[in-house]
Chain A
Amino acid sequence: MSTALSLHRSRKRKNSVMMALCVIAAGIGLAWLALILGALIYKGLAGVSPAVFTQMTPPPGDAGGLLNAIYGSIVMTVIGIIVGTPIGVLAGTYMAEYGRFSKLTTVVRFINDILLSAPSIIVGLFVYELLVRPMGHFSAIAGAVALSILVIPVVVRTTEDMLNLVPNALREAGTAIGAPRWVVIRSVAYRAALSGIVTGILLAIARISGETAPLLFTALNNQFWSSNLNAPMASLPVTIFQFALSPYEEWQQLAWTGALIITLTVLGLSIIARSLTGRREDR
């Protein structure tokens, strides 16, 4: 009797210890998020001023802003999205609609998942070999292409998943009134899956707007204002990288402010994307 009771007690005790450890683990995870965001806001806000958005990146030891870097980031992100999204949506459409059971789809899905988590610096090397070396110089186009390669797998994945959620009865109804396949896809399937596909695109924007590694040796960096797509272009992440590792205090402050801008952008996009799919689930 007493052994059974003590066994019971020891099991109880073990349970409490392990569960306490799990709570501590969750605490650690949340505390880390709070620490990073706290430091970012504290250090970043100190440098927020109108000059950040109106002046160019300064020479060492001078005050200035991040205007050309912000502009470059927006330009390359937009081009990357414009190039990558149609390809991703079309490929996802093939996998979910035309070739749902084909061998090609299985292979593409596997390869796409690998591309999705492949190191982004490898993509940078690829675009360097593909564009920068033949052209002989770094350019914003190369940077945008590198970003679009990162966009494609994200969009493919979400498009396929979301189209697979569209009930077949909807497609059959479309086909039954005589609409050809592509009209059914365009006017029925796309419309039903729209919020999910938009979520994928938002997530892709969130991913590439903070990417640094693929831009390091494709778009390089530029101290000055440049809207020439065939020339090196500044971007926020690369500027942060360069400024943070410099010994100049003004540059380090700008790096923190830039980091805050990127984080708020990315978090904002992720939250919007999440609320779009969240509404879907509630319905």
Chain B
Amino acid sequence: MTAVAEAATSSATRTREATVRRFAFTDMVFRGATRASAILVLVILGGVAISLVTGSWEALSKFGFSFLTTEAWNPVTENFGALAPIYGTVVTSAIAIIIAVPIGIGIAVFLTELCPRPLRRPIGIAVELLAGIPSIIYGIWGLFVFAPFLQTTIQPFIINIFHGIPGLSSLFAGPPYGIGLLTSSLILAIMVLPFITSITKDVFDTVPAVLKESAYGIGCTTWEVTRRVVIPYTRVGIMGGVMLGLGRALGETMAVTFVIGNAHRISASLFAPGTTISATIANEFTEADGELYTSSLVALGLILFIITLIILAIARYMLLRIDSRAGA
């Protein structure tokens, strides 16, 4: 009787042990799979960096540092320099940010302080939907609707106004092509606006209500509360959002490719066609013949990668800081 019971218990223990072992094994497998996937994310970024370096090695070893300082881009004589695309990328992104930041902050103030409550969510969603529209849509709209509009109305008007004023006249020198650096900057501004707006709105929401209320309590106007309390409190977060928008603008490809004009030269006029790093790669990569040409384009990609990596890292660092403060 006892012997039978003992046998039953020991077999129960055995199946129990086997089950626990099986559980431990599957758990280990699952854990390993998740860990491997997490590491794969690192491997992808590492792979991107390595492939860009090896792909651009030929161009970089031939041209060396002068690749960064040469304006020439001549596929026939195989003489390549990155200065014109870098110039175009930096100028268009900078103008886009200068336009988009005040408007973005304005919309965020509107949404957090002024907007009637029932409209808040729909408008917030509408602005965020702008962020979801693929860049090629902005490109086709820019090429067929926005550029002709600029060409026929805005640009001749500006050229006339600034005609004869030193400095400004060369900045806005004709002929009005419609496409060019300024058009690209405006399209980029529209594209980064939703990013800046939604991040600014999010960080505005982290301001403790008691801070704002005490400012209102001593008689501050809405603008004074925004200017003296909300913006100083969220400065780091806003900067993070601006940097994120900048990273976006620097790497934006399709919208710019449509309206930049793809001309490898540096001109003082914002109305002149130019090129950016991403537009050059998009336009020329599939047509590039010869190792050196392809390699030079990959080298452009490497430069863009390094620039955006630095900008995005700064952005994330700043947003992390405001996150930890909001959590504390």
Please give the distance in Å from A81's CB to the nearest CB on chain B.
Answer: 15
Q: How far is the CB of B258 from chain A (nearest CB, A)?
A: 7
B138 in the interface, Cβ–Cβ < 8 Å? yes
Say if the beta carbon of A176 comes within 8 Å of chain B: no
Q: How far is the CA of A207 from the CA of B298 in the complex (A)?
A: 24
Question: Taking the complex as formed, is B193 at the interface, i.e. its CB lies under 8 A from any CB of chain A?
Answer: yes
Could you say which of A30, A39, A114, A183 has the most chain B C-beta atoms within 10 Å of its C-beta?
A114
Select one of A12, A99, A104, A118 contacting B312, CB under 8 A: A118
A183, A212, A271: which contacts B253 (Cβ < 8 A)?
Answer: A212
CB distance from A186 to the nearest CB of B (A): 8
Q: Knowing A36-B138, A105-B38 touch, does A182 contact B26 (C-beta < 8 A)?
A: yes
- Alpha-carbon separation in the docked complex, A99 to B30 (Å): 13
Cα(A36)–Cα(B251), bound, Å: 22
Set A99, A114, A263: member contacting B38, Cβ < 8 A: A99
Given the known interface contacts A15-B223, A122-B305, the answer about A112 and B41 at a Cβ–Cβ threshold of 8 Å is: yes
Q: Which residue of B lies closest to A160 (CB)?
A: B38
Main secondary structure of the interface of A (DSSP, over half): helix
Let me know if A40 and B316 touch, CB within 8 A: no
- Interface assignment of A5: CB less than 8 Å from any CB of chain B: no
Contacts of B62 in A (CB 8 A): none
Contact residues of A between 103 and 133, Cβ < 8 Å to B: 104-105, 107-108, 110-115, 117-123, 125-126, 128-130
A256 and B134 alpha carbons, distance in the complex (Å) = 13
Complex Cα gap A32–B42 (Å):
38
The reply on B168 being an interface residue by CB < 8 A is no
Would you call A213 and B51 a contact (CB within 8 A)? no
Of the residues B52, B55, B129, B313, contact of A114 by C-beta under 8 Å:
B313
Q: How large is the interface on A (under 10, 10 to 19, 20 to 34, 35 or more residues)?
A: 35 or more
Q: CB-CB < 8 A to A35: which residues of B?
A: 145
A to B contact number (C-beta, < 8 Å): 263
Q: Mark B22-36, 1 if CB is under 8 A from A, else 0.
A: 011011001101111
Q: Is B39 an interface residue (CB 8 A)?
A: yes
Verify B251–A119 contact, CB threshold 8 A: yes
B224 within 8 A of A: yes
Question: Which residues of the partner chain B approach A113 to less than 8 Å between Cβ atoms?
Answer: 312, 316
Q: Determine how close the nearest CB of chain A comes to the CB of B59; give it in whole angstroms.
A: 13
Rounded to whole Å, the gap between the CB of A219 and the closest CB of chain B is: 11
Interchain CA distance A12-B224 in the complex, whole Å: 10
Residues of A within 8 A of B197 (CB): 29
| Given A115-B41, A255-B140: A98 touches B35 (CB 8 Å cut-off) | yes
A93 within 8 A of B: yes
Closest chain A residue to B121, Cβ basis: A278
Residues on B with beta carbons closer than 8 Å to the beta carbon of A111: 41-42, 45
CA distance A119 to B312 in the complex (A): 11
Cβ of B221 and Cβ of A14 under 8 Å apart?
yes
**Closest Cβ neighbor of A11 among chain B residues:** B221
Using known A-B contacts A25-B103, A117-B247, A245-B258, determine if residue A262 contacts B137 with beta carbons closer than 8 Å.
Answer: yes
17 pairs of residues in contact across A and B, judged by CB atoms under 8 Å? A12-B221, A25-B104, A25-B105, A29-B103, A29-B194, A29-B197, A30-B127, A86-B37, A95-B38, A119-B304, A122-B304, A126-B47, A126-B51, A212-B134, A213-B254, A237-B136, A252-B144
List 19 other contacts, CB 8 Å, given A43-B144, A266-B134.
A19-B223, A22-B110, A28-B103, A29-B103, A32-B190, A90-B33, A90-B36, A91-B41, A93-B37, A98-B34, A111-B41, A117-B308, A119-B251, A121-B301, A123-B48, A125-B52, A180-B27, A213-B278, A244-B139
